[in-house]
Structure 1
Amino acid sequence: MAHDHHHAHQHEHRHGQHHDHAEIDWTEMAPLLEAGAELFSPLYERALAWLAKQQTNPGLIVDAGSGPGVVSCLLAETFPAARIVAVDGSEPLLDRARDRAARLGLADRFSTLAGDLPDVLGDLDYPADLLWASRSLHHLGDQRAALAAFAERLAPGGTLAIVEGGLPTRFLPRDIGIGRPGLQARLNAVEEEWFAEMRAALAGTVDETEDWPALLTAAGLAHTRTRSFLLDLPAPAPDRARAYVAATLSRIREALADRLDATDRTTLDRLLDPEDKASVHHRPDLFLLAAQTVHTASRAL
């Protein structure tokens, strides 16, 4: 789990860490991760266009925690002269990444590397000009040490871009006409509790103030920049957004239902019932609004 604020790193990708492998069937999860990343592609495209202004002609780009490769392929399209290496701990996800690159005609400059972050980055043939890590860092116990390891794999003048923070994705009004108003805020709260427990249970976990520019500077990098990017799909949301919301709520129902009161569990069940006109499958007020934050810094020449 984990993402948008943090349910199962759901919509996009982003894995490569041991603790997840024991818990998640990646072959089963892969289509959901891929569909979610595709849904968020407009947000990523804007983020990568911004990034392209900072790193104009990278030779090697590494996607650290690539998942099924949606963003890896967007990186390849944004930087048509670059070689791309998708790095992840899950072979089934990397299989999908390779298949995607082949379908898009990118296979000649696309490769994969399997292993746990950050150690696997030591297997790269040469340093990266751009290292992209979207929501993979917070699955590593010692984030400060991981950032230092990421920074070490940059070429002189290379850029590290991490996606951490932003805002919880919202898709329902405060009052949805069933149950108590404010359901989504309460779901966000239990997800935050889960996320804190997940972090606490990681091997070698270190509490860290999440001041990402300061942490990037501590890793020896300079010229920090931060910008957030928005995905705004207004109501009535398209079918693929409804499917994403239904999958998100289903995972919350399976994993966190015991943290909700009986009224909220009943409301969640109604929202997930395709036969109920109040469900996310039918309701006209369903939207999707998300903000993700990208932090960058560069290694000195």
Structure 2
Amino acid sequence: MGHHHQHGQREGQGRGESHGHGQGHGRHDHTDIDWAELAEHLEDQAELFAPLNRQAAAWVAERQPEPGLVVDAGSGPGVVSTLLADTFPGARIVAVDGSGPLLERARSRAERLGVADRFATLEADLPGGLTELEYPVDVLWASRSLHHLGDQRAGVAAFAERLAPGGVLALVEGGLPTRFLPRDIGIGRPGLQSRLDAVEELWFGEMRAALPGTVEEAEDWPGLLTAAGLRGATSRTFLLDLPAPASEAARAHALTIFRRRRETLAEYADHFDPSDLSTLDRLLDPDDKASLHHRPDVFVLAAHTVHLARA
């Protein structure tokens, strides 16, 4: 399912930044990814975002309190899959992903957390692989996996087809770009993060354009849910608010995202002011007192939107 792309963990944040495991290295070639290194980052990031995902899952549970089967489509290493097992203690959970090594971690995690008896994995590409599920799905959770499918409308329709009558589809897409620093950080030109977001938009557009069978689609997620024949489409946004001073985990996450932004910036050198590159280099230099390693003003503020509708 070509979705091991540059930045993101689904469980992380905005757009190309952090998708479940849309995290690859280098444009669209995901043949040389170091899964062990990547998986660890994906787990760390998903654990950081657990409070946000827990609130989102609880909101889904208000609409579907006792599902029999819950599927995490594009699960990565299973951090959210096991969180869904907590939210729905009576449900069987299936983590679906195209990466065997990540699913292996998901199984170990389920074992460690004592939910292995009702936890299964399915190694399959989305959306086609969902046809391998033996039963209709009561809750299908797809966090930042849809935008890695070339034809998102067809993807939503395929998700919707797997639902049991009254089953719920929860798409995590959109929200806001994550913020880590104030507008003026005392070095370089103020507004660095907004300019990095603009470069990220370019990257994201190219990533989408390069997907197999890509179709341009307005990002009206509730509209796509309705077009797939689902009812009562509604959206809600959840915050992750980790104020300064940052914990070690929050600081590590900021460093990971800024390193990836630095790689992206290098690919789009003609789209930005070179002074931003030197500011980024300072932010990433552990020997610089103004770096993310040492700054007292690092925080994590993220907003993820969940779009929900039922069969």
Aligned residue number for residue 211 of structure 1: 220
Following superposition, the deviation at residue 239 of structure 1 comes to 1.0
Alignment pair present for 1:108 and 2:97: no
Count, aligned residues? 296
Partner of 1:63: 72
* C-alpha contact (below 8 Å) 1:15/1:136 kept by paired residues: no
Check the 8 A contact 2:17/2:23 in 1, yes or no: no
Q: Is the 8 A contact 1:246 1:272 kept in 2?
A: yes
Aligned to 1:263: 275
Residue aligning to 2:234 = 225
Q: Which residue of 1 aligns with 2:3?
A: none
Q: Which residue of the other structure, out of 13, 16, 26, is the alignment partner of 2:21?
A: 13
Query: Which of 283, 294, 298 is matched with 1:286 structurally?
Result: 298
What are the residue-to-residue correspondences of 1:1-301 with 2, within 5 Å? 1-3=6-8, 4-9=13-18, 12-13=20-21, 21-22=30-31, 24-259=33-268, 260-299=272-311
Q: Shift of the alpha carbon at 1:14?
A: 5.4
Listed as ranges, the gaps of 5+ residues in structure 1 are: none
Q: Give CA deviations for 1:126-172 in whole Å, capped at 9, x if unaligned.
A: 11000000000000000000100000000111000000000000011
RMSD: 1.5
Distance 1:214 1:226, change over 3 A: same
Provide the secondary structure at the position in 2 that maps to 1:9: coil
Whole-Å Cα distance in 1 between the matches of residues 307 and 206 of structure 2?
25
Matched residues, percent identical? 68
Q: For residues 39 and 261 of structure 1, do their structure 2 counterparts lie closer, same or farther at Cα, with a shift above 3 Å needed?
A: same
Name the CA distance, whole Å, in 1 between partners of 2:127 and 2:37.
Answer: 25
Deviation of the 1:225 alpha carbon: 1.4
Deviations 1:40-71 (A, max 9, x none): 00000100111110001100000000001000
Structure 1 Cα separation of the partners of residues 267 and 118 of structure 2: 47
Unaligned runs of 5+ in 2: 1-5
Q: Are 1:57 and 1:79, in contact at CA under 8 Å, matched by a contact in 2?
A: yes
* Contact preservation (8 Å) 1:13, 1:69: no
Contact 2:75 2:96 in 1 (8 A): yes
Output the CA distance in 1 between the equivalents of 2:252 and 2:75.
22
Question: Is the partner of 2:207 in helix, strand or coil?
Answer: helix
Q: Distance in 2 between matches of 1:57 and 1:138?
A: 29
Helix, strand or coil at the partner of 1:195: helix
